[in-house]
Amino acid sequence: MGDWTKGLAGTGETDFQNGYLGRIGLETGCLAESWELPDSQTIVYHLRKGVHYLMDPANEACKLVGGRELVAGDVVWSMEREWASPKSFLFSQMKPEEKPQSFTALDKYTVEIKVPASVQGALLFLTGDQCHIYAPEVVAKWGSYDDWKHQVGTGPFMLTSYVGGSSLTYMKNPDFFLNDPIHPENKLPYVDECKQLIITDKSTQLAAMRTGKVDSSVGGAISINWENKEELLKSAPALESFRTAGLDEQIWSRVDKSDLPFKDVRVRQALTLAIDQPGIVDNFYGGNADLLGHPFPPYKAWEALYTPLKDMPANVQELFTHNPAKAKQLLAEAGYPDGFKMKVICGTSEQADFLSIIKEYFKDVNVDLEINFLENTVYRSVLRGRTYEQAILCTCPTAGFPWKMHSTRLTSLDDKAFYSNPVTDAAFAEENQYVGTDDAKWQSIVKSATPFILEECVGIWLPVPYGYRMWWPWLQNYHGEGTLGYDNQMAISWYVWIDQSMKKSMGY
């Protein structure tokens, strides 16, 4: 799991905006007290002794498991099940030849995993920080873990109530095995109850934040952009805020279709140059955006990966200016002196409004942009299936998982442009040799590949607006962190508490 002591509560090596970002140096033990890589094809986990499944007397599954100790056999069973299940996240993450080859309980507290040498680091993360450990008895009795009432784990909270489309309520596990690593005299978690709200309406989200109905926007319930932040502070000036990278949406045009113009890098560069990106930053976002925010934003968590635009090669810097004359020249050189028609899909009215601005810029270089606004469910289906005809406006998780190089790897479902190149393929193969063992080395390789990715215009580049996390000051020991470890947003709740006196004194 992510090491809380390395974040803003401790040494400040990262701000944990997006978890550990593939840095093994930001990970620490959880159920596994430690791990080792004795050779290039082996991962060994040494389990913590004395960890017991939680015991809720009102929960039939808990009573079935009986609060027994978690042992290596449970880990082996859980990993075999999750890696083999077509419905699991892990099943879709690696090609068949890249998946773990075997799981073995060497003794009661030691698990050995055999893996392909080429992806040892990636599998260290996926088995160590992404695989969920269950109690086999539950599946043996009920056939699955699908019923929320049958959840039984070893974590700091136990799920006691789920109201579909409304909320999840968790109660403290009094026998949780971890203490606060910064204040080791204190047992985790601090709070007695944690409630996660499901709020789909934007105005209701903001009202809940403004009126103190929620303590924090962390956990994904509330997405706050720069306009929302300013609006909230007008009515609730006591709110704390932390600036983050916002919604990183780029236009991804398919480069795999020979009948489309986007296969030619000059076309992609021309479309990028046609957009007045500095103007969008200043006028559309009111200065509240990063001109260069992809593939990595200019924030603490990404400082080892980010190169400021001023330090990029001149040809990359030029792409982030507004140069329609150069765009027309490139289109003519690519064989499109009279431009062409282009189709792009989107899934929200906000996206459609933004694309209408891009349409006007493209018109200046004789590219006729047709905007197809799909109902969100249909849009999501097309997005995940990658069945769009020409182009799509969407996010890509490259920033959150930089070692995966999602936007330039055909084997990734998040390669939205269907892009591949020997240069980026070689960089991916090289950096994979160091993932999980040498953070500085793999980050250097990815950073070195970034100017080439930008020059290639794998996406039609757009500025990235600021996002914000907001919370009330009575939420103690919180500093704006987003997620710990692989992608664990709710882990923040282990370490925070509510100052009830402060909350009452503020009128809530």
Q: Is the pLDDT of residue 93 over 90?
A: no
Ranges 107-116, 149-158, 211-220, 409-418: which has the least confidence: 211-220
* The pLDDT of residue 221: 54
User: pLDDT tens digit string along 47-66?
Assistant: 999 999 999 988 999 999 99
pLDDT of the residue at 220: 58
> Strands, E, within 314-411: which ranges?
340-346, 367-373, 391-395
| pLDDT surpassing 80 at residue 77 | yes
Direct distance between the N- and C-terminal alpha carbons of the chain, in angstroms, rounded to an integer? 34
Hey, where are the domains in the chain? Answer: 249-465
- Average pLDDT score, the chain: 95
The answer on pLDDT for 219 being more than 70 is: no
**Residue 189: is the preceding peptide bond cis (ω within 30°)?**
yes
Tell me the fold of 249-465. Answer: Dipeptide-binding Protein; domain 3 (3.10.105)
For the segment 394-406, the average pLDDT, to the nearest whole number, is 93
Is residue 2 within 8 Å of 491, Cβ to Cβ?
yes
Amino acid at 392: I
- Give the integer Cα–Cα distance in Å for 332 and 442: 39
Nearest to 399 by CA among 445, 446, 440, 444: 446
According to DSSP, residue 68 is labeled P
Question: What are 240's strand-pairing partners?
Answer: 471
